[in-house]
A and B are shown apart, each in its own frame.
Chain A
Amino acid sequence: MKNIKKLVLAGFAGMVMMGASMAHAVDLNGAGSTFDNPIFQKWFHEYYTANQIQVNYQSIGSGGGIQQWLAKTVDFGATDAYLTDDEAKKANGPSLNLPVVLGAVCVTYNIPGVDSGLKLTPKILVDIYRGKITNWNDPAIAEINPGVTLPDLKITVAHRSDGSGTTNIFTSYLSKVSTAWSTEVGWGKSVNFPVGVGGKGNEGVAGIVEQVSGSIGYVELAYCVQNKMAVAKLKNKAGNYVEASVATTTAAAKGAKMPSSFKIMITNASGEDAYPICGFSWVVVRVNQDDPVKGKKLVDLLNWILDKGNAEAGDLYYAPLPDSLVEKVKGAVATIKY
């Protein structure tokens, strides 16, 4: 059984690393978030090139990553939603939620004759997703968008149908800005959306927005930029209309009051330039490492991610963590015992 698994892992690593030595044993295993996968593959490839230490990451989804980490089949899990108290209990020992990836969720739309940059307030966005505002010519939208000709067109709401960290961040934002949303719907990776159609994955939502005239949806920043989709400017807590970008996302993380557990949703952050719909993705690790060799490798990897990796996050449209946070996370990494 173990041999078969090793073979499968080796095959997978070979496909991903492309050219990395097949004979080299895998040093560290991780599993989880698909949202993190692009940046992880880039990081772990560079890490292998620099240090000859191979990290194999299976992007099977955050839920699966946590399950595998709890079962100790992987050395670290990666998740878009920090561990719940129940999950943390199942780990049988102290664990850490380390924010390593920071991303933004864009609101995209398809309105004939309206370019990128339509302004939206939190209230309008909530009302659209609750089915209270149903037409683009609604006076509330026209009022804050002088000079934009909004057509008499029915709004089609698009959301993710699969459980996702993107939905977690988006609904956390809606819950923070609207008590109606937080009591009627709430926030999580899958929620019971009051209206709209669901698309599977970023590509599913993007496909609906592309196809259906009058639609609105939410997708990851990288996906929006690469597909040149029309993106809304959102009114943040400070009252400024901010477009999603790497810089405005880092600004949001800077303004957040970070608890020592790092368990925080930074949606609707304060700060002049803070983009309001963004959030962390966490790596979960055990404080007490069973294997001293692996434990050291893991700590080295985490420190490398925070020093070197973090600086390159912007290349793939993830936002780098602010320096103050990097120091805090490194402090937490230092508590890992091996």
Chain B
Amino acid sequence: MSSMENQQPVAGNEGAVKPALSFLFFGKLSEVGIGDKIFRAVTGFFAFLILLLAVLTFVALFINSIPSIKAIGWKFLVSSEWDPIRQVFGAVPYVYGTLVSSFIALVIAVPLGLGIALFLTELAPMHLRAPVAFVVDILAAIPSVVYGLWGMFVLAPIMARYINPVMAKLIGAPFFVNTSIGLSFFSAGVILSIMILPTIISISRDVFEAVPNVYRESAKALGATDWETIQLSVLKSSKPGVVGAIMLGLGRALGETMAVTMVIGNNPQVTANLLAPGHSMAAVIANEFTEATGDVYLAALSEIGLLLMVITFFLNVGAHLLVWFTTRNYGRN
């Protein structure tokens, strides 16, 4: 009781402070409503700017791509040949490399990232949670060129010497046929998985933490084990958030340039063998744009950028549709 009484005056003070502050920002008390309106208009304008930015980027890329769209047409989307000398440009190997390396990254990073996030929110002792989360956030701040250099000088030799032969023996053809080089789709996927882990961990951790404790307590009260509690109360209700985390990670993987170009081998080919060198969309732009001459060549590189934007857009739409389909009946169950 006494503590309640102690808090009362504090709360009262807060009440006195708030109008004083709003007076500073919005003028007279009676004009608070106008302040809110201005605030709403300003933030709304900011949000609109983001939309505008996306649309303008799309339009600019499209305009820059016109010479190549005119000269090459649909062949750009189905041809595998990329020859600046003969002005023949086909995007297939680059699209393939981007999708395959990002997919490998997701296969590795999603279970690992969600596992780590679950451990940190549900299972880890309290004193471990903050330090581990701190380290995860630091990982996200490492520049991609550093990952790339590490990938080329440390990871690639390790892959070539130890990992690739094992994968070739365990899984084998057609996906894992050993080559003597460590630069491959697979190495790019591994580097990307390390790079997108922090994104997936920190966002899904926030999502899991947002699940009300009442849910967990209810499950436990019904006699659920730790795993059943996680499954019933945490995972089910955080599905949209987790998909959001994965999509942000995928976005980084699709657009990553420096690290990928340093470990993927930069050989534009379409092959089922993940241990062979490949190429990616962002990598070919970064590699060739500065020295590209000729209208069609430059436009073809812009068109690669346009295509990457479109692919990212549809993957995001697809993911949101997936969430919508799998969660729409959730309330009724």
Q: List A residues at the B interface (Cβ < 8 Å).
A: 60-64, 66, 81, 84, 86-87, 154, 156, 161-165, 185-193, 196-200, 204, 207-208, 211-214
Selected A-B contacts with CB under 8 Å, 11 pairs: A62-B291, A161-B261, A163-B291, A186-B85, A190-B292, A191-B84, A199-B266, A207-B152, A212-B160, A212-B180, A212-B181
Give the complex CA separation of A165 and B279 in angstroms. 21
Q: Is the CB of A60 within 8 A of B160?
A: no
Q: How far is the CA of A66 from the CA of B152 in the complex (A)?
A: 32
B131-154 vs A: 1/0 string, CB under 8 Å? 000000000000000000000110
Q: List chain A residues, Cβ under 8 A from B277.
A: 197-198
Interface residues, chain B, with chain A CB atoms under 8 Å away:
81-86, 152-153, 156-157, 160, 180-183, 261-262, 265-267, 277, 279, 283, 286-294
5 closest residue pairs by CB, A with B: A163-B291, A198-B266, A61-B290, A161-B266, A186-B85
Distance in angstroms between the alpha carbons of A197 and B265 in the assembled complex: 5
Q: Compute how far the CA of A81 lies from the CA of B287 in the bound complex, rounded to whole angstroms.
A: 17
Given A62-B291, A198-B267, A211-B182, verify A188-B85 contact (CB < 8 Å): yes
Cα–Cα distance between A225 and B2 once the two chains are bound (Å): 82
Chain B residues within 8 Å of A61, by CB: 290-291
Taking a contact as CB atoms under 8 Å apart, the answer to whether A192 and B291 are in contact is no
A30 to chain B, nearest CB (A): 16
- Partner of B290 from A84, A161, A162, A187 at Cβ < 8 Å: A162
Q: Say which residue of B152, B180, B265, B290 sits within 8 Å of A163 (CB atoms).
A: B290
Which residues of B have CB within 8 Å of A198? 265-267, 277, 279, 287
Complex contacts, B292 vs chain A, CB 8 Å: 63, 163, 190
A156: chain B residues within 8 A (beta carbon): 180-181
Assess whether B81 is in contact with A192, with CB atoms less than 8 Å apart: yes
Output the nearest chain A residue to B268 by Cβ-Cβ distance: A192
Query: Given A185-B85, A198-B265, A211-B182, is A162 in contact with B291 using a C-beta cutoff of 8 Å?
Result: yes
Contacts of A199 in B (CB 8 A): 266
Query: Nearest Cβ distance between residue B299 and chain A, in whole angstroms?
Result: 14
Q: Which of B82, B84, B262, B293 has a CB less than 8 Å from the CB of A200?
A: B262
Determine whether the beta carbon of A204 is less than 8 Å from that of B262: yes
- Inside 8 A of A213's CB, which chain B residues have their CB? 180
A208 touches B183 (CB 8 A): yes
Query: Closest CB of chain B to A74's CB: distance in Å?
Result: 15
Contact A200 B181 (CB under 8 A): no
Evaluate contact between B267 and A190: CB separation under 8 angstroms: no
Interface pair A200/B81, CB less than 8 Å apart: no
B153 near A211 with CB under 8 A, answer yes
User: Given A86-B294, A207-B152, list of 13 further CB < 8 A pairs?
Assistant: A62-B293, A63-B293, A84-B293, A161-B279, A162-B286, A190-B292, A191-B83, A191-B84, A192-B84, A197-B267, A200-B286, A211-B152, A211-B182
Residues of B close to A163: CB separation below 8 A? 84, 287-292
